[in-house]
Structure formats: C-alpha cells, structure tokens
Amino acid sequence: MPAMSTLTSRWFPSHERASAIGICMGGFHLGNVVGLLLTPIMLSTIGISGPFILFSSLGLLWLSTWTSKVTNDPCNSPFVSKSELRLIQAGKSDSVKKRNPPSLRHLLSKLPSWTVIIANITNNWGYFVLLSWMPIYFNTVFNVNLKQAAWFSAVPWGTMAVSGYMAGKASDSLIKAGYSLTLVRKIMQSIGFIGPGVSLLCLNYAKSPAVAAVLITIALSLSSFSQAGYLLNIQEIAPDCAGFLHGIANSAGTLAAIISTIGTGYFVQWLGSFQAFLTVTAGLYFVTTIFWNLYSTGERVF
C-alpha cells in the first residue's frame, strides 16, 4: 500500500490521481468479493488447502508480470510516450521543489499527519469489522447459514469497487472545476465517514437480512469515498515521502484492524449485542470526521 502511494504520486498528474486510486482500490475490493465467494466453495469441495493454493498462485502470477513491466518512474518506462510523459510532468505541481525527507519525529509533530493516521485507524477499524464479522453477523442475528451469508457479505464489496471509482472521478472533476484541494478532501472524507456511521446506526433497526445487506452495502459504498479523502491526502501533504507516511498510517491502521477483528467478539459480549458495537463504531466515525475537518489540509506540509 505505501508503494502504491509512492507510484501514483510519480505516475499521475494531480488532477487524475483520485481516478487512478479508484481503479487500483477497485481491484482491492473485487479481491474481497472473489475471496468471500470462492473460499466456502473450495473448503467444501477441495478442503482447507484449496484457497491457499489458488490465492498464492494468483499472487505469484501477478508478481511475475509486475516485476517485468513496472518502473519506479514513468521516465524509465518503455511504454510511456514523450507526449504522455510531458502530460504527467505538467500536472505534477508538487514536483517543482524537492525537499529532504522529514524525520519520523518531524512527521508526527504536525496535525495534518495525525489526521491521516487517525483516519486510517478509523477506516481500518470499520472496514475489517465488516469484512471479517459480517458472515457471523448474518448467521447470529438472522440465522442465515454461513454459505448464504457469504453472498450477503460479498455484494457490498462489489459495489464498493464501483463507488470508489465514482468518488475518484467526482474528486478530480471538482479539482478541475477550481475547488481547492483542502475543500475537496474534506468533502470526500466527510462522506466517507458520515455515510457509514449513519448506515451502521440504521442497521440497528434492520428486521431482515435483505435490509441489513442493503444498509451494509450503503455503508461500504460510501466509505470508499475515503480513497479520495485521506488516502490521496497523503500524497498532497508529503509528496516526497508519501510511502513513508502511508507506512506509518498503515501500521496504526493495521493495529486497529487486529484489535477490532479479534476484539469484536469480546466487545459484543461485553456490550451485550452486535447492535451496541455497531453504535460504538458509528461514534468513532463521527468523532474522526470532526477531527479531520478541523485539522486536515490539501496543502503541502513536508
């Protein structure tokens, strides 16, 4: 993921990055769809080794293509024409002044860095709770068997791939129309957190698995607007060390994902129901939205 931030900042002009991220993350979400649908089938037919063999083989196939085709910079790629290279370089306003990479202490001394880190924590908390626990949620709350629950859980990820791309296109259009980067990032991130928060609160009142699936689909679809929010903001506040800052934010976010995924069962038992835990998660979305709008910026900081 940090490498993706570094490469998109080098390979795309600033007014096309949101669309590029939308396409990249579309693959991320569609991978969840494939995993959720194929894994139960393979477990029941091939056994527990089936998913590991298939997904590792796909990874090795992708890696062989990646290492032979991709370069660090478009200047070094044989697949980029001179006219395309000029277009990329003309749209990279953040490449005019190169600066020395900041230290970790300096990165953490600025509030815009913390807006990105905390946004990643909140995003991963909600994302991995929904990814890991939704089949169990449908099974526990609505008595849907796990194979059927996989289908209910897979649909939202497919729509998330589409909505993420739409968010990217909308973001790029607003920037081309003259709106400031700061305003666009605040709008996109607010949609990406308030939308899921409201949807999770409404989920408390769902009376059927179909209604619950619709609300979860809305929650995840709107959360993909974060791709045009904090995920892109990393490249704007720290263009020369986007991978470094993304790595820091991703480490914090991964820790949050571990805590939320492992701890959900304990939280549900402690709070008394899935609904109470979903309310707590919604509250986390809302608080982070306030922090984001107070201290985030689209201007270069490092």
DSSP secondary structure code for residue 237 in this structure: H
Kindly report the backbone phi and psi dihedral angles of residue 294, in degrees, each rounded to the nearest multiple of 5, phi listed first: -80, -40
- Mean pLDDT along residues 8-12: 85
Please report, for residues 40, 132, 217, 271, the alpha-carbon distance to residue 154 in angstroms, rounded to integers and kept in the order given: 12, 11, 9, 27
CATH C-level class of 1-92+104-295:
mainly alpha
Which pLDDT score is estimated for 146?
61
- Mean pLDDT along residues 86-109: 76
Which pLDDT score is estimated for 206?
84
Choice between 159 and 291, residue whose per-residue pLDDT is larger: 291
The residue behind tokens 């070094």 is 76
**Which of 56-65, 184-193, 273-282 tops mean pLDDT?**
184-193
pLDDT at 119 over 90: yes
Read off the pTM.
0.80
Domain boundaries, the chain: 1-92+104-295
CA distance 77 to 69: 8
Q: In terms of Cα–Cα distance, which of 187, 262, 254 is closest to 1?
A: 254
Choice between 51 and 273, residue whose per-residue pLDDT is larger: 51
pLDDT at 16 over 70: yes
pLDDT digits (tens, 9 = 90+) for 250-274: 999 999 999 888 888 888 788 777 7
CA distance 91 to 111: 27
CA distance 81 to 74: 9
- Tokens found for residue 191: 């949609």
Q: CB of 251 within 8 A of CB of 10?
A: no
Please report, for residues 15, 65, 118, 224, 267, the alpha-carbon distance to residue 227 in angstroms, rounded to integers and kept in the order given: 14, 26, 14, 6, 28
- Tokens found for residue 184: 């666009």
- Tokens found for residue 220: 């995840």
Kindly report the backbone phi and psi dihedral angles of residue 206, in degrees, each rounded to the nearest multiple of 5, phi listed first: -70, 135
Banded model confidence at residue 99, pLDDT cuts 50, 70, 90: low
User: Which ranges in the chain belong to alpha helices (H)?
Assistant: 2-11, 17-45, 49-69, 82-90, 104-107, 111-142, 146-176, 181-203, 209-223, 230-237, 242-271, 274-295
Mean pLDDT of the chain: 86
- Mean pLDDT along residues 18-41: 84
pLDDT at 96 over 60: no
Choice between 7 and 120, residue whose per-residue pLDDT is larger: 120
Handedness of CA 202, 135, 133, 276 (dihedral sign): positive
Share of the chain above pLDDT 70, in %: 94
Note every long-range contact of 297-300, with CB atoms under 8 Å and residues 24 or more positions apart, other chains counting.
Answer: 297/112, 297/182, 297/237, 298/180, 298/181, 298/182, 298/183, 298/184, 298/185, 298/233, 298/236, 298/237, 299/181, 299/182, 299/236, 299/237, 300/94, 300/236, 300/237, 300/238, 300/239
